[in-house]
């Protein structure tokens, strides 16, 4: 099977797939839609990061594609509904770079509190301005975390270890770690916190989540961080509140529009704004995180291709798939009544004995893994593929 890995995915992913017998091609940058369609000819596994967009048109024109690995946390760059309809499994790395993101957030909080970017710029310009005005310790200050998932909760623990008081808000009922205090509303959090850090996911309903109204509710001279998704923040509103002095500083790592390749010009309204830290979507880009992500996601792609395991798939039912028989049939179907009974009837009518069977459903789709002793006949496979509910049938 052929795998295509884009956007400088860490060699750990390349090595793992190569060791497991896949033919691996790598490309150092993201690909535009037409280029991606051309590159996917004959490709079974696709690995991307955040700048490659897998659209419905791409999926329609990639009949050989079996799985996509997002070597990052987010999957909003992938048309998940279209992938599911095409029977393409999608995997990501929800935990592998958590620590790296948290460490950058802490560094930026301290950097803004001490005006490190301003001091650095003056020193490089030959100006010596030794002053404590506007510089503060983070100990004893209040951090408000919006989104208390894997990253937000770990940031909570590390910030508390520095002596910060931690508040958080999440639409999901999350367990507070340490001495963190849950706020009943975003407004309550914004009214109390001196530093706000966003860690929300990339669902479409979060577009424009934080804008003029929310910035106006923040405490005067507070700090703001966005290390989540570019499109969740109205950056024009952020700029206004920085220029007016209402906010004392900001750190932004993600942008709604990002250059597709390294070296391309970055244009943004926040460029040149004092006490603003701009980083090129590198919160999770440490050597440790990228190595972990590379091996983790490549392992998920390999497991799916080899035995049909969908554990931690973003869009398909999660089925652990230990092998019990010599041959395996993987049947992805629309989640309607009677599918399993029909599958079993087909196999029984053709004298095929099932040694192990696993079924799981998720929303509109169901997934069955069947282990059998003998090679399935062409008649069996034809009958399974002819079922009205069938999305895809694979054999290994």
pLDDT of residue 322: 74
Each residue's pLDDT tens digit, 279-311: 999 999 899 999 999 999 999 999 999 999 999
E strands, the chain, in order: 2-5, 23-26, 45-48, 67-70, 89-91, 142-146, 165-169, 181-182, 195-198, 222-226, 247-252, 276-278, 327-334, 354-362, 365-372, 390-395
Residues 383, 340 share a domain = yes
Each residue's pLDDT tens digit, 40-60: 999 999 999 988 999 999 999
Each residue's pLDDT tens digit, 357-369: 999 999 999 999 9
C-alpha distance from residue 304 to each of 83, 90, 247, 320 (Å): 15, 10, 48, 10
**Does residue 260 have a pLDDT over 80?**
no
**Does residue 325 have a pLDDT over 80?**
no
Residues 253, 137 share a domain = yes
Q: For residue 326, what pLDDT band results from cuts at 50, 70 and 90? A: confident
**Does residue 396 have a pLDDT over 90?**
no
For residue 383, the domain's CATH number is 3.30.70.260
Residues 152, 245 share a domain = yes
Residues 367, 259 share a domain = no
Total structural domains within the chain: 3
Each residue's pLDDT tens digit, 332-352: 999 999 999 999 999 999 999
pLDDT of residue 348: 95
Record the pTM. Answer: 0.81
pLDDT of residue 261: 79
Q: For residue 124, what pLDDT band results from cuts at 50, 70 and 90? A: very high
Residues 244, 296 share a domain = no
User: HEC profile for 205-249?
Assistant: HHCCCECHHHHHHCCCCEEEEECCCHHHECHHHHHHHHHCCCEEE
Q: For residue 321, what pLDDT band results from cuts at 50, 70 and 90? A: confident
Q: Could you give the 3-state DSSP secondary structure of residue 289?
A: helix
Residues 257, 303 share a domain = no
- From 66, 229, 331, 333, the catalytic residue: 229
Backbone angles phi, psi at 167, to 5 degrees: -115, 155
Q: For residue 104, what pLDDT band results from cuts at 50, 70 and 90? A: very high
Task: Please give the span between the terminal C-alpha atoms of the chain, in angstroms, as a whole number.
Answer: 12
- From 258, 260, 268, 362, the catalytic residue: 258
For residue 147, the domain's CATH number is 3.40.50.720
Backbone angles phi, psi at 392, to 5 degrees: -160, 145
- From 281, 328, 330, 333, the catalytic residue: 281
Q: Which two tokens stand for residue 95?
A: 């935990």
Q: Rounded distance, CA 93 to CA 4, Å? A: 18
**Does residue 383 have a pLDDT over 80?**
yes
Residues 245, 132 share a domain = yes
pLDDT of residue 123: 95
Residue 360's domain spans which residues?
Answer: 318-396
Q: For residue 258, indicate whether it is catalytic.
A: yes
pLDDT of residue 50: 87
pLDDT of residue 131: 92
Q: For residue 229, indicate whether it is catalytic.
A: yes
C-alpha distance from residue 72 to each of 228, 342, 389 (Å): 12, 39, 32
**Does residue 155 have a pLDDT over 90?**
yes
pLDDT of residue 262: 84
Residues 108, 91 share a domain = no
Residues 144, 81 share a domain = no
pLDDT of residue 202: 85
Q: For residue 53, indicate whether it is catalytic.
A: no
Each residue's pLDDT tens digit, 182-226: 999 999 999 999 999 999 998 889 999 999 999 999 999 999 999
Residues 129, 1 share a domain = no
Residues 223, 112 share a domain = yes
Residues 145, 71 share a domain = no
What is the percentage of the chain residues whose pLDDT exceeds 70? 100
């Amino acid at each position: 099977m052929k795998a295509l890995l884009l956007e400088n995915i860490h060699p750990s992913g390349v090595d793992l797939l190569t060791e497991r017998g896949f033919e691996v091609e790598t490309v150092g940058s993201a690909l535009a839609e037409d280029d991606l369609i051309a590159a996917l000819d004959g490709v079974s596994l696709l690995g991307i990061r955040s700048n490659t967009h897998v659209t419905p048109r791409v999926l329609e024109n990639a009949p050989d594609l079996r799985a996509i690995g997002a070597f990052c946390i987010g999957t909003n760059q992938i048309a998940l509904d279209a992938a599911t309809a095409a029977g393409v499994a999608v995997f990501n790395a929800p935990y592998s770079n958590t620590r790296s993101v948290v460490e950058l957030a802490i560094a930026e909080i301290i950097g803004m509190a001490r005006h490190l970017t301003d001091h650095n710029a003056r020193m490089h310009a030959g100006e010596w301005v030794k002053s404590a005005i506007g510089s503060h310790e983070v100990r004893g200050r209040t951090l408000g975390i919006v989104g208390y998932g894997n990253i937000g909760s770990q940031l909570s623990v590390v910030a508390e270890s520095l002596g910060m008081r931690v508040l958080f808000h999440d639409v999901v009922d999350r367990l507070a770690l340490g001495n963190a205090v849950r706020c009943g509303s975003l407004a309550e959090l914004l009214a109390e916190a001196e530093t706000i850090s966003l860690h929300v996911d990339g669902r479409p309903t979060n577009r424009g989540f934080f804008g003029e109204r929310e910035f106006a509710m923040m405490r005067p001279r507070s700090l703001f961080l966005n290390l989540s998704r570019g499109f969740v923040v109205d950056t024009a509103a952020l700029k206004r509140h920085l220029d007016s002095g209402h906010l004392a500083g900001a750190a932004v790592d993600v942008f709604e529009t990002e250059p597709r390749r390294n070296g391309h010009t970055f244009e943004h309204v926040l460029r040149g704004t004092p006490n603003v830290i701009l980083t090129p979507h590198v919160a999770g880009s440490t050597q440790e995180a990228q190595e972990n992500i590379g091996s983790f996601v490549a392992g998920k792609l390999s497991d799916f291709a080899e035995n049909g395991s969908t554990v931690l798939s973003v869009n398909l039912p999660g089925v652990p798939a230990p092998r019990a028989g010599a041959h395996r049939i993987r049947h992805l179907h629309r989640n309607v009544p009677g599918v399993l009974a029909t599958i079993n009837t087909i196999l029984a009518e053709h004298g095929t004995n099932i040694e192990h069977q696993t079924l799981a459903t998720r929303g509109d789709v169901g997934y069955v893994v069947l282990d059998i002793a003998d090679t399935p006949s062409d008649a069996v496979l034809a009958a399974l593929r002819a079922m009205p509910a069938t999305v895809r049938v694979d054999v290994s």
